């Protein structure tokens, strides 16, 4: 693209000719040119679209969760949207910094796991008032299987028949256990072997070499559901 200086008496507006010199003007000749006045340039500036306002999405979880393969795939998809900016609150920040120093965000994804300071996450949500993708207060309940079972029953979700053995000295009516040769009786409910013994906390199932019921701690006992060797997992779609 070439430009020619204005001669005396001509407008000082630059004229731009298309082509690579006189030989490259093409079949339409020297008269082909583009010219923009100051008003046209101003209109072009006014037509420029301002950048999209950013919605900041905060990820608040322990490193093992925030950098897991499933979370990484979720974040990769979120980052495809031009108007979303994702920030990860590092484990050092959420464990050691007061919530007043945590980065602000418009939307918060936060979930509990071992060692996670749920109380601080709740305090942060009250301080900054972000939109919560998952309910932080409800995450206290998922740390106790008794509460989980209660909520499921209230919502009409079918559960295996179960009984709670609560070895709390203040509640002696809930700690009656009789172990027989082919069954256990928990607070009057009989469970033939095989049966399932679960801790009442949020700990996942782990293998135990013990062939008898445990004599310390509180547990949920429920009837065994045969699955022909298939591991059955029930997932909840919250519609988010």
67 and 125 both lie in a single domain: yes
Whole domain around residue 179: which residue ranges? 160-223
Q: Which of 112, 142, 172 represents a domain boundary (last residue)?
A: 142
**Total domains in the fold of the chain:** 2
CA distances from 93 to 61, 141, 144 (A): 11, 25, 27
Q: Which of 110, 142, 174 represents a domain boundary (last residue)?
A: 142
67 and 97 both lie in a single domain: yes
Per residue of the chain (240 residues), give pLDDT as tens.
333 334 444 443 333 233 333 333 333 433 333 344 455 555 555 567 667 788 999 999 999 999 899 889 988 998 888 899 999 999 999 999 999 999 999 999 998 888 999 999 999 999 999 999 989 999 999 889 999 999 999 999 888 999 999 988 888 888 899 998 899 999 999 999 888 898 888 666 666 676 778 888 889 999 988 877 777 676 665 544
Expressed in percent and rounded to 5, the helix, strand and coil fractions of the chain are: 30, 20, 50
Q: Is residue 17 part of a domain?
A: no
Report which secondary-structure segment, H or E, holds 154: helix 145-154
Map residue 223 onto helix, strand or coil.
Answer: strand
For residue 225, give the DSSP letter: -
Q: Is residue 62 part of a domain?
A: yes
125 and 195 both lie in a single domain: no
168 and 133 both lie in a single domain: no
Edge-first strand order for the sheet with 189-192 is: 177-179, 183-186, 189-192
CB 59 within 8 A of CB 109: yes
For residue 119, give the DSSP letter: H
214 and 175 both lie in a single domain: yes
181 and 126 both lie in a single domain: no
CATH number, domain at 114?
A: 3.40.50.11950
70 and 131 both lie in a single domain: yes
119 and 60 both lie in a single domain: yes
pTM of this structure: 0.65
Q: Is residue 173 part of a domain?
A: yes
Helix ranges (DSSP H) in 48-166:
63-66, 69-78, 91-96, 118-128, 145-154
Residue 162 C-beta-side C-alpha neighbours within 13 Å: 23
How far apart are the C-alpha atoms of 179 and 186, rounded to whole Å? 9
Q: Is residue 175 part of a domain?
A: yes
CB 124 within 8 A of CB 136: no
């Amino acid at each position: 693209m070439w430009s020619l200086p204005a001669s005396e008496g001509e407008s000082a507006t630059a004229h731009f000719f298309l082509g690579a010199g006189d030989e490259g003007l093409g079949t339409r000749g020297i008269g082909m040119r583009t010219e923009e006045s100051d008003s046209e340039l101003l209109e072009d500036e006014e037509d420029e679209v301002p950048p999209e306002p950013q919605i900041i999405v905060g990820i608040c979880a322990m490193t093992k969760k925030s950098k897991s393969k499933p979370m990484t795939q979720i974040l990769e998809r979120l980052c495809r949207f031009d108007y979303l900016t994702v920030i990860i609150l590092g484990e050092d920040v959420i464990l050691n910094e007061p919530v007043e120093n945590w980065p602000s965000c418009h939307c918060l994804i936060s979930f509990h796991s071992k060692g996670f300071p749920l109380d601080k996450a709740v305090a942060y949500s009250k301080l900054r008032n972000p939109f919560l993708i998952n309910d932080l207060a409800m995450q206290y309940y998922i740390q106790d299987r008794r509460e989980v079972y209660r909520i499921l029953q209230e919502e009409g979700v079918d559960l295996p028949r179960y009984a709670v053995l609560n070895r709390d000295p203040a509640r002696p009516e809930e700690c009656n256990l009789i172990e027989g040769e082919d069954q256990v009786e928990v607070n009057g409910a009989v469970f033939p072997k095989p049966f399932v013994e679960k801790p009442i906390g949020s700990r996942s199932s782990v293998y135990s070499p013990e062939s008898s019921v445990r004599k310390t701690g509180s547990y949920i006992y429920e009837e065994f559901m045969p699955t022909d060797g298939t591991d059955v997992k029930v997932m909840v779609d919250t519609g988010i």
